[in-house]
Amino acid sequence: MSDMSEIGRLILLGAPLGNPADGSVRLRDVLGVADVVAAEDTRRLTRLARDLGVTVEGRIVSYFEGNEERRTPELVEVLLAGHTVALVTDGGMPSVSDPGYRLVTAAVGAGVPVTAAPGPSAVTTALALSGLPCDRFCFEGFLPRSPGARRARLRALAAEERTLVLFEAPHRIAAALTDLAEAFGADRPAALCRELTKTYEEVLRRPLGELARWAADGEPRGEITLVVAGAPQVAPEPPGPDELRAAVAAREAAGESRRDAVTAVAAEHQLRRRDVYTIVHTG
């Protein structure tokens, strides 16, 4: 796939979360022809290629958290020399709480084209399975490891109205759920998604307090994605009579007729025009 007369290309590969059958045709094609395959775990890559029936012809190098800083400039040199580099993690899309961001940034900075063979994502898979609102959500990745920092972060997120998606390690999930229940309320709906697409896939849809008690009974195994409902929207306090009179007076001072001013103020606060009119005229 290399062309020494042109600049190379970086391709991000979406890898199966657990079930090899989720691997796309493009994933197979790119793995088979890329000049270099940078893998988070070379042993897992070898196993994945075998499961997909693909022979990796290119050079395989490791690319993980411990060697990203050193390996990135090496891979950029390979790209600038006209070679194609494929980046694959243990599961899901590179850069999403996985290695990749540093290399993408460096490649873009060097003028190297970056594209993707998109594939599975634990974030969107868990979100879809959770039964919680999916129209607006935010991804928080892994919470801080230290208890104090974790609780501070959760306090800052407690009023977030969008659905939250989090990753957490099995040995920290009980403590994280306890802190979530304290910060968000034990009744906040949530879904704990474990071992997605694998043989022992499990999705527990329960309030945070129940999930915390469940996790405390025994350390869950496998990779965990947690989906938490956003904070319930709080209706704003309706304006008082004095505030409504002042709003109408301000519009009148700006040149609006009283009729138009009352209509506009009523619409702004979702009130009946007749009620606003009565308040203005009885003030």
The string of pLDDT tens digits covering residues 241-263 is 888 899 988 998 999 999 998 89
| pLDDT above 80 (res 1) | no
Burial 102-136, CB ≥16 within 10 A → b, else e: bbbebbeeeebebebbebbbbbbbbbebbebeeee
Parallel, antiparallel, or unpaired: how do β-strands 36-39 and 84-88 relate? parallel
Tell me the C-alpha to C-alpha distance, in Å, between residue 6 and each of 14, 72, 114, 117, 139: 25, 20, 14, 21, 37
Kind and range of the H or E element at 151? helix 147-157
Helix (H, G, I), strand (E, B) or coil at 169: coil
Strand order across the 9-13 sheet:
59-62, 36-39, 84-88, 9-13, 114-117
Give the range among 45-54, 84-93, 202-211, 265-274 with minimum mean pLDDT: 265-274
In this prediction, residue 170 carries a pLDDT of: 94
* Structure tokens given for 23: 């691997």
In this prediction, residue 234 carries a pLDDT of: 73
Domains of the chain in sequence order: 9-120 (3.40.1010.10), 123-228 (3.30.950.10), 241-281 (no CATH)
**Mean pLDDT, residues 171-200:** 96
pLDDT bracket for residue 14 (50, 70, 90): very high
Q: How far apart are CA 166 and CA 190, in angstroms?
A: 11
Q: Are 38 and 31 in contact (CB under 8 A)?
A: no
| pLDDT above 70 (res 4) | no
| pLDDT above 80 (res 61) | yes
pLDDT bracket for residue 6 (50, 70, 90): confident
In this prediction, residue 2 carries a pLDDT of: 46
